[in-house]
Amino acid sequence: MSRASRARRVVTAAAFGGGGLGALSAAAVGVIYGETKLARRRITPAETDPPRADGTWSAPALDTTAEPLVLAMLGDSSAAGYGVHVDADTPAAKIAVGLSRLSQRPVRLRNVAMVGAQTSDLVRQVALVMPERPDLAVIMVGTNDVTHRIRASESVRHLNAALAALTEADVDFVLGTCPDLGTIRPIAQPLRWLARRLSRTLAAAQAVAVVAAGGRAVSLGDILGREFAARREFFSDDQFHPSAIGYARAAEVLLPSAAAALGLTTVSQPAGPFTSTRARPVARAAARAASLPGTEVVGAEVRGERTGRRGPWARLTRRRTETVIPTTSTDADPRQPATMGRTDQSV
């Protein structure tokens, strides 16, 4: 079964309450359970919770009296920035500063992401940010669903509910899809193979759901896979979560889609050397994006129609901006002085 077919099956199961991808054999479950226990022993928990990055963030030399954009960050430990020690190193802060540069407005950040959160926590997180009247929500979620063996169809049902709440409140949203867990060092075979298969299937299904709801999905995939394999510093101390350098890379691919969702100027190009920007069925686009990290999946039209025989149309693209995100809080961006940061410590 192709990844596109699996994604369609997951989304259909989410809509009609089906089970999803089926069960593993008892022997396979036993092996995977043993590998999971070993992997958890190898993962060293971080000593502290992620730093709070709530507040107003501004690019240098900006008129901070301008009306701020409001950014909500939702999701799990990756959205919270688990593993870093400085608030400016969290992905939410990096995206906030990048949006401030592009919009020439301050950005007020409200981050309600939680360590250990699953997709089922998103509806509650949406309710927490609604008093802030956000202009945009950025979501990073899915890892804990895979590691806790939540059915992809169940995850997508919860995602649909959260996206419906954001849509009803007229909040634009961008989702960074579930990363490829096959890149994590402490995970051994055959668990690594299974983790890759499940995480990519969930990522594709998430993209289908997001496009259907009118948002943008950005494939995180194995965007750090090569770097993680070659450079240990891309991991944080627990060897599971990204370091400040890793989070900067994730923020770098999310920022252009966040900017596009707000109507800010970005440049789009084909997602790969053999991938055009033509529209295709969303399940195919989502499946392709799962193996093309940094790729945005967004709804499209064909001859004035948003839906074809095989479901909604979508387009694969890579976006970029002229803003460069520093890899750590101490790395000066060559285009900006190193004085960017929070201008207001309160929320």
User: Percentage of residues in the chain with pLDDT exceeding 90?
Assistant: 40
Active site (annotated) includes residue 77: yes
The residue among 21, 41, 58, 6 whose CA lies nearest residue 343 is 58
pLDDT of residue 320: 86
Query: Which residue of the set 241, 243, 257, 329 is catalytic?
Result: 241
What is the tally of helices (H) and strands (E) in the chain? 11, 12
Q: Within a domain: residue 276? A: yes
Asked if residue 78 is part of any domain, the answer here is: yes
The count of domains in the chain is 1
pLDDT, tens only, 162-197:
999 999 999 999 999 998 776 655 555 566 667 778
Peptide bond connecting 186 to the previous residue in cis, omega within 30 degrees of 0: no
pLDDT confidence tier of residue 233, bands split at 50, 70 and 90 = low
Residue 331 lies in a domain: yes
CA neighbor of 236 nearest in space, from 49, 92, 96: 49
From its phi and psi, is residue 106 left (phi > 0), alpha (psi between -120 and 50) or beta? beta
Q: What is the 3-state secondary structure (H, E, C) of 127-184?
A: HHHHHHCCCEEEEECCHHHHHCCCCHHHHHHHHHHHHHHHHHCCCEEEEECCCCHHHC
CATH number for 233 = 3.40.50.1110
| Best-predicted range by mean pLDDT (110-114, 150-154, 236-240) | 110-114
Per the residue annotation, which of 58, 77, 153, 155 is the catalytic one? Answer: 77
Strand partners, 330: none
19 pLDDT above the threshold of 50: no
- First-to-last alpha carbon distance for the chain, in angstroms, is 48
Among 237, 238, 333, 344, which one carries the catalytic annotation?
238
Q: Is-contact 318 271, C-beta < 8 A?
A: yes
247 pLDDT above the threshold of 70: yes
In a domain, 25, yes or no: no
Domain limits for position 235: 3-18+46-340
pLDDT of residue 95: 97
CB 219 within 8 A of CB 293: yes
- Predicted TM-score (pTM) of the model is 0.81
Stretch 141-149: mean pLDDT, rounded? Answer: 88
Domain for residue 295, yes or no?
Answer: yes
pLDDT at 24 over 70: no
Do the beta carbons of residue 13 and residue 19 sit within 8 Å? yes
In a domain, 140, yes or no: yes
**Is residue 268 assigned to a domain?**
yes
Answer yes or no: 148 catalytic: no
Q: Is 121 a catalytic residue?
A: no
> What pLDDT score does 223 carry?
59
Mean pLDDT within 57-72: 86
Is residue 125 one of the residues assigned to a domain? yes
The 10s digit of each residue's pLDDT in 94-137 is: 999 999 999 999 999 999 999 999 999 999 999 999 999 999 99
Report how far residue 261's alpha carbon sits from residue 109's, in angstroms, rounded to the nearest whole number: 16
Give per-residue pLDDT as tens, 266-319.
887 766 655 666 788 998 888 888 878 889 999 998 888 888 887 889 998 888
- Comparing 222 with 278, the larger pLDDT belongs to 278
